[in-house]
Chains A and B, each alone.
Chain A
Amino acid sequence: MTPLSHIRNFSIVAHIDHGKSTLADRLIQSTGTVEARDMKEQLLDSMDIERERGITIKANTVRIDYKALNGENYVLNLIDTPGHVDFAYEVSRSMRAVEGSLLVVDSTQGVEAQTLANVYQAIDAGHDIVPVLNKIDLPAADCDRVAAQIEDVIGIDASDALRVSAKTGIGIAETLEAIVHRLPAPRGTRDAPLQAMLVDSWYDPYLGVVVLVRIMDGVLRKNDRVKFMSNGTVHQVDRIGVFRPQMEPVEDLGPGEIGFITAQIKQVRDTRVGDTITSEKKGTEIALPGFKPSQPVVFCGLFPVDSSEFEDLRDAIDKLALNDASFSFEMESSAALGFGFRCGFLGLLHLEVIRDRIEREYNIDLITTAPSVVYHLHMKDGEVREMHNPADMPDVTYIDHVEEPRIKATILVPDDYLGDILKLCQDRRGIQLDLSYAGNRAMVVYDLPLNEVVFDFYDRLKSVTKGYASFDYNLTGYAEDNLVKMQILVNAEPVDALSMMVHRDRAEARGRSMCEKLKDLIPRHMFQIPIQAAIGGKVIARETISALRKDVTAKCYGGDATRKRKLLDKQKAGKKKMRQFGKVEIPQEAFISALKMDG
Chain B
Amino acid sequence: MADDWQDGGFAVYIHWPFCAAKCPYCDFNSHVARHIDQQRWLRAYLSEIDRHAALVPGRVLTSIFFGGGTPSLMDPDVVAAVIARIRHHWPVANDLEVTLEANPGSVEAGRFRAYAAGGINRVSIGVQALNDRDLARLGRIHSVTEARAAFDIARHTFERVSFDLIYARQDQTPEAWRAELTEALAMAVDHLSLYQLTIEDGTAFGDRYKSGKLRGLPPEDAATEMFHVTQSVCDAAGMPAYEVSNHARDGAQSRHNRVYWRYGDYVGIGPGAHGRLTLAGQRHATETARAPGDWLTRAEIGSGDVLCDQLTPSEAASEFLLMGLRLTEGIDPRRFARIRGEGLNPDTVSYLTEIGMIDATPDRIRTTAQGRLVLNAVIARLLDA
Contacts and interface: CB of A to CB of B under 8 A. Distances in A.
Nearest to A563: B274
Contacts of B223: 550
B385 A555 contact: no
A396 interface: no
A553 B268 contact: no
A10 B225 CA distance: 76
Given A549-B220, A553-B376, A572 B198 contact: no
B380 A549 contact: no
B65 to A, nearest CB: 9
A568 B322 contact: yes
A559 B268 CA distance: 9
B274 A551 contact: no
B273 A559 contact: yes
Interface string A535-570: 000000000000111111111111101101100110
B224 A526 contact: no
Task: Tell which of A549, A557, A568, A571 has the most Cβ of chain B within 10 Å.
Answer: A557
B351 A583 contact: yes
A524 to B, nearest CB: 9
A562 B276 CA distance: 10
A341 B254 CA distance: 58
B227 interface: yes
Contacts of A554: 195-196, 198, 244-245
Contacts of B268: 558-559
A575 interface: yes
Nearest to B164: A555
Contacts of B224: 549-550
A362 interface: no
Contact of B276 (A549, A558, A572): A558
A398 interface: no
A568 B317 CA distance: 13
Contacts of B357: 526
Given A552-B375, A553-B376, A558-B276, A564 B322 contact: yes
Given A549-B224, A550-B374, A565 B273 contact: no
Nearest to A524: B377
Contacts of A557: 257, 260
A379 B277 CA distance: 74
Given A571-B380, A583-B351, A551 B375 contact: yes
B108 interface: no
A415 B196 CA distance: 59
Task: Tell which of A525, A552, A569 has the most Cβ of chain B within 10 Å.
Answer: A552
B135 interface: no
Interface string A400-413: 00000000000000
Contact of A549 (B221, B244, B354): B221
Contact of B385 (A547, A552, A569): A569
A558 B322 contact: no
A551 B374 contact: yes
Nearest to A527: B355
B308 interface: no
Interface string B153-192: 0000000000000000000000000000000000000000
Interface in B335-385: 351-352, 354-357, 370-381, 383-385
Contact of A552 (B220, B354, B372): B372
B292 to A, nearest CB: 15
B318 interface: yes
Contact of B355 (A526, A555, A564): A526
B300 interface: no
Given A555-B195, A557-B257, A568 B379 contact: yes
Interface in B8-33: 13
Nearest to B264: A558
B83 interface: no
Nearest to A570: B385
Given A549-B373, A568-B318, A568-B380, A556 B274 contact: no
B373 A550 contact: yes
B170 to A, nearest CB: 16
Given A557-B260, A575-B385, A552 B273 contact: no
B354 A583 contact: yes
Nearest to A552: B375
B219 to A, nearest CB: 10
A366 to B, nearest CB: 22
A558 B385 contact: no
Contacts of B377: 525-526, 548, 551
Task: Tell which of B319, B326, B376 has the most Cβ of chain A within 10 Å.
Answer: B376
A47 B38 CA distance: 72
Task: Tell which of B275, B374, B381 has the most Cβ of chain A within 10 Å.
Answer: B374
B105 interface: no
B315 interface: yes
B245 A526 contact: no
Contacts of A551: 373-377
A572 B322 CA distance: 14
B272 interface: yes
Contacts of A558: 13, 259-260, 266, 268, 274-276
Nearest to B267: A558
B374 A568 contact: no
B269 to A, nearest CB: 12
B287 interface: yes
Contacts of A552: 244, 372-376
A376 B355 CA distance: 43
Contacts of B196: 554
B130 interface: no
B244 A568 contact: no
Given A555-B245, A568-B379, A575-B385, A562 B266 contact: no
Interface in B191-250: 195-196, 198, 220-221, 223-224, 227, 244-245
B56 interface: no
Interface string A296-327: 00000000000000000000000000000000
B354 A561 contact: no
Given A558-B266, A583-B354, A553 B375 contact: yes
15 contacts: A526-B352, A526-B378, A526-B381, A527-B356, A549-B373, A552-B373, A552-B374, A553-B198, A558-B260, A558-B268, A561-B274, A561-B285, A565-B319, A568-B322, A569-B385
Given A556-B322, A556-B323, 12 more contacts: A526-B378, A527-B356, A547-B374, A548-B374, A549-B221, A550-B224, A552-B375, A554-B244, A561-B276, A562-B274, A562-B319, A572-B384
The 9 A-B pairs of least Cβ separation, nearest first, read A572-B385, A552-B375, A559-B274, A558-B260, A554-B195, A551-B376, A571-B385, A550-B224, A568-B385
